[in-house]
């Protein structure tokens, strides 16, 4: 305990000091001759108890109490007034300003010691109570954090289970489609080859008099002209189905969070766009600005999940903005240590008061039931914590939002700047 004796009389300072020492009151003793010096010592030295004379030059005890109350300090000491004054109004004024007791001068030893000890016990109790409160508050913060982490982990595991289930479903559908698709593509290839000699033969017999009537009636010229275009369009359709099936198979294969491999970021984004096409095509046109980038080593399925979240969010932001069709621009470029990807939309943008919360778990601006608030949080965890990269956001209300993803060539111990 630190006790500050504020008294302009040296004799009273020594009497107070000697009494404290005589009765073994455990404390460090400091002195001040006036209020200004006392306030300085309180601010600098962390005083627990002030023995304050009411009548002093420069600044009275009451004036010092007023200034003490206005000071911005974390811990204010208890104050016992030292006085020869018996005026109840003055004493009440001291109590109104925070004094807890008073001792009359000249000091009567037993009264002096009893009041000091009583006040020191109160200070000790208040300090213990304060420390206990601080511990409880700290424990409460830890418990809230643990609860939040458990809830986040639970929802994350549910999301992962859903992802695995979707992956299994996609694998089953892809398998079921792939077999008949293989037959169709093989047969179609034969049909395409067969059409060539048939066309050549028909062209050779075109001018035969017996066939001219039938030729014109059946409009064979148009059929032969339209057939290559039909074959070409059908081939494109089959190729697109094959790409979709392949994307579904890749998505299913990479849904395991323990799988790591080298992959091309441009190919990955194309696969994601194939998967989310039905969600995006009614809201936005996707513009791709790809550069040749080095291969990334990591969990392809988790990175796909990130881009699914970002692209679907961009599509929904455009839909919510009221624009009929917006634009999602996806750009990739190599950087000194990996790859930089940006996903920019022309949606409604993010309110500046929320921009710093977008990666917080369970934060969402969507209506209840339309989002868990975990998509961006999980994306941030995947990019930053699991792959050692960076995920940042810039947004302007009414203009749009851009997410920047920096991925290192392989996970490092330090984050990209």
pLDDT at 167: 58
pLDDT at 322: 75
Confidence category of residue 380, pLDDT binned at 50, 70, 90: confident
Spatial separation of the C-alpha atoms in residues 95 and 138, rounded to whole Å: 34
Residue 342 has pLDDT above 90, yes or no: yes
Residue 5 has pLDDT above 90, yes or no: yes
Question: Which range in 100-109, 162-171, 191-200, 248-257 is most confidently predicted, on average pLDDT?
Answer: 100-109
| Residue 345 Cα to chain centre, angstroms | 20
pLDDT at 402: 94
Q: 304 vs 240, 252, 300, CA distance in Å?
A: 20, 11, 6
pLDDT at 50: 93
Name which of 76, 413, 75 is nearest 64 in CA terms: 76
Give 3-state DSSP helix, strand, coil % of the chain, rounded to 5: 55, 15, 25
Residue 141 has pLDDT above 80, yes or no: yes
Residue 332 has pLDDT above 90, yes or no: yes
Per residue in 15-25, pLDDT (tens digit) is 999 999 999 99
Quick one: how many helices (H) and strands (E) in the chain?
11, 12
- Angle (nearest 5°) at CA 390 between 389 and 395: 160
Q: 94 vs 60, 90, 109, 249, 412, CA distance in Å?
A: 11, 6, 23, 82, 64
Name which of 272, 280, 404 is nearest 343 in CA terms: 404
Name which of 77, 121, 74, 72 is nearest 99 in CA terms: 77
pLDDT at 311: 92
pLDDT at 415: 39
Spatial separation of the C-alpha atoms in residues 213 and 371, rounded to whole Å: 67
pTM over 0.85: no
- pLDDT, average across residues 213-219: 80
Residue 393 has pLDDT above 80, yes or no: yes
Residue 335 has pLDDT above 70, yes or no: yes
E strands, 128-240, in order: none
Question: Which range in 100-109, 204-213, 247-256 is most confidently predicted, on average pLDDT?
Answer: 100-109
b/e map 178-200, b = 16+ CB within 10 Å: eeebeeeeeeeeeeeeeeeeeee
Element housing 211 (H / E): helix 209-217
Question: Encoding tokens for residue 268?
Answer: 């990955």
Question: Encoding tokens for residue 368?
Answer: 């209840």
Q: 85 vs 13, 91, 101, 133, CA distance in Å?
A: 18, 8, 14, 39
Confidence category of residue 411, pLDDT binned at 50, 70, 90: low
Confidence category of residue 155, pLDDT binned at 50, 70, 90: low
**More confident: 174 or 290:** 290
pLDDT at 165: 55
Residue 240 has pLDDT above 80, yes or no: no
- pLDDT, average across residues 318-322: 84
Neighbours of 218 (CB within 10 A): 11
Q: In this prediction, what percent of the chain has a pLDDT beyond 90?
A: 32
């Amino acid at each position: 305990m630190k006790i500050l004796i504020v008294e302009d009389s040296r004799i009273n300072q020594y009497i107070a000091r000697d009494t404290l020492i005589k009765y073994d009151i455990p404390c460090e003793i400091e002195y001040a001759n006036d209020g200004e010096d006392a306030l300085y010592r309180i601010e600098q030295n962390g005083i627990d108890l002030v023995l304050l004379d009411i009548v002093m030059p420069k600044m009275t005890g009451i004036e010092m109490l007023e200034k003490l109350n206005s000071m911005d300090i974390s811990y204010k000491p208890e104050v016992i007034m030292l006085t020869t004054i018996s005026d109840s109004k003055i004493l009440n004024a001291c109590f109104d300003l925070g004094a807890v007791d008073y001792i009359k001068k000249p000091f009567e030893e037993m009264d002096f010691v009893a009041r000091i000890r009583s006040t020191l016990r109160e200070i000790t109790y208040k300090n213990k109570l304060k420390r206990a409160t601080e511990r409880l508050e700290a424990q409460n913060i830890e418990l809230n954090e643990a609860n939040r982490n458990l809830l986040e982990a639970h929802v994350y595991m549910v999301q992962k289970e859903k992802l695995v289930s979707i992956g299994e479903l996609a694998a089953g559908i892809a398998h079921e489609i792939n077999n008949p698709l293989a037959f169709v593509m093989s047969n179609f290839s034969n049909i395409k080859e067969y059409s060539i000699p048939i066309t050549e033969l028909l062209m050779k017999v075109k001018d035969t008099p017996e066939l001219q009537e039938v030729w014109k009636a059946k409009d064979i010229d148009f059929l032969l002209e339209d057939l290559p275009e039909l074959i070409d369009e059908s081939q494109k359709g089959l190729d697109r189905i094959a790409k979709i099936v392949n994307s579904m198979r890749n998505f299913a294969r990479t849904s395991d969070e323990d799988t790591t491999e080298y992959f091309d970021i441009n190919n990955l984004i194309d696969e994601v766009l194939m998967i989310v096409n039905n969600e995006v095509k009614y809201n936005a046109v996707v513009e791709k600005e790809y550069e040749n980038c080095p291969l990334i080593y990591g969990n392809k399925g988790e990175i796909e999940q990130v881009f699914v979240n970002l692209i679907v969010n961009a599509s929904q932001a455009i839909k919510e903005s009221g624009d009929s069709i917006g634009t999602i621009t996806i750009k990739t470029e190599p950087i000194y240590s990996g790859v930089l990807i940006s996903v920019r939309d022309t949606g409604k943008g993010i309110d500046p008061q929320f921009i710093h919360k977008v990666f917080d778990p369970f934060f969402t601006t969507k209506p209840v039931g339309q989002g868990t608030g975990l998509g961006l949080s999980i994306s941030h965890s995947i990019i930053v914590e699991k792959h050692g990269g960076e995920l940042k956001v810039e947004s302007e209300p009414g203009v749009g939002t851009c997410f920047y993803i920096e991925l290192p060539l392989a996970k490092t111990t330090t984050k990209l700047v």
